[in-house]
Amino acid sequence: MKENQISKTAMAERMKISRRQLDRLLDSQVRNITLATMSKAARAVGRELHISLV
C-alpha cells in the first residue's frame, strides 16, 4: 500500500470490503487469511499472487 500510495480506505474499496475488515487482514496476529483474500488484495494494488510448492 505504501509503495502504491494507497490509503486503507481506498484499498478496502478496491477489495470491496469494509475498512474494519481490512484492518483485521493487516493485523499480524491474524493467521487465517484465505488464498482468495490474498489474491484479492494483490489485485487491488495491481499485482498477481503466485504460489508454488518447491
Cα separation, 53 vs 14, whole angstroms: 29
Q: What is the pLDDT at residue 52?
A: 94
Q: What is the pLDDT at residue 5?
A: 82
Using one digit for the tens of pLDDT, what is the confidence trace for 26-48?
888 888 888 998 899 899 888 99
pTM: 0.70
Task: Tell me the backbone φ, ψ of residue 24, rounded to 5 degrees.
Answer: -65, -40
For residue 2, pLDDT beyond 80: no
Q: What is the mean pLDDT of the chain?
A: 88
| Residue 12 CB neighbour total at 10 angstroms | 19
Q: Which domains does the chain have, with CATH numbers?
A: 1-54 (1.10.260)
Q: What is the pLDDT at residue 6?
A: 86
